[in-house]
Amino acid sequence: MLKKLIPRLQVNTIYDIDLEALRKQGYRGIITDLDNTLVGAKAPLATPELTAWLKRVGEAGFQVVIVSNNERNRVSRFAEPLSIPFIYRAKKPTSAAFRRALRMMNLSAKETVVIGDQMLTDVLGGNRLGLYTILVLPISRADEGFFTKVNRRLEKAALTLMKR
Ligand SMILES: [Mg+2]
């Protein structure tokens, strides 16, 4: 269980991800978290920097689906202006939403990466299905909700256990 919390790759931000390298390794799809991965949890819309990055992602030949545990309104308001498909109330780390995202892209687990800022939802869920998992640092810790704060404490405890 603890091993499943470890991401395949750890970077500071999505902008540090080497898209070309992923492409060469055969990856074609990106399942990405929204809050604190793409923008801060309280930021309603994409930043110009993010919009430019998403454009590059598309040009590099990747499909993208946003998979978020957040509510419909938050996710749709963010994703619809970008014309990116999304799944809300995803109940990560359970598998259903990840599988659905793979079906939406018509890709297999082996062709898809998961990007997120939480080990207990994004990384655990992705690893369980054999997706390539990338952990980013959370964009803004200040805006996090109660459950995310609890998850952070559990992440810390898991890391401490793993270091033993
Ligand atoms: Mg998040």
**In this structure, CATH architecture of domain 2-163:** 3-Layer(aba) Sandwich (3.40)
E strand intervals along 77-121 = 86-87, 112-116
Residue ranges of domains in the chain: 2-163
* Model confidence, pTM: 0.91
Residues facing residue 87 across a β-bridge: 67
Sign of the C-alpha dihedral computed for residues 11, 70, 62 and 123 taken in this order: positive
117 CA to middle of ligand 1, Å?
5
110 CA to middle of ligand 1, Å?
23
71 CA to middle of ligand 1, Å?
13
Dump pLDDT digits (tens) for 50-70.
Answer: 999 999 999 999 999 999 999
Dump pLDDT digits (tens) for 107-121.
Answer: 999 999 999 999 999
42 CA to middle of ligand 1, Å?
11
| Angle at the Cα of 111 from the Cα atoms of 72 and 6, rounded to 5 degrees | 75
The more confident residue out of 114 and 151 is 114
115 CA to middle of ligand 1, Å?
9
Query: Over the chain, what is the mean pLDDT?
Result: 94
123 CA to middle of ligand 1, Å?
11
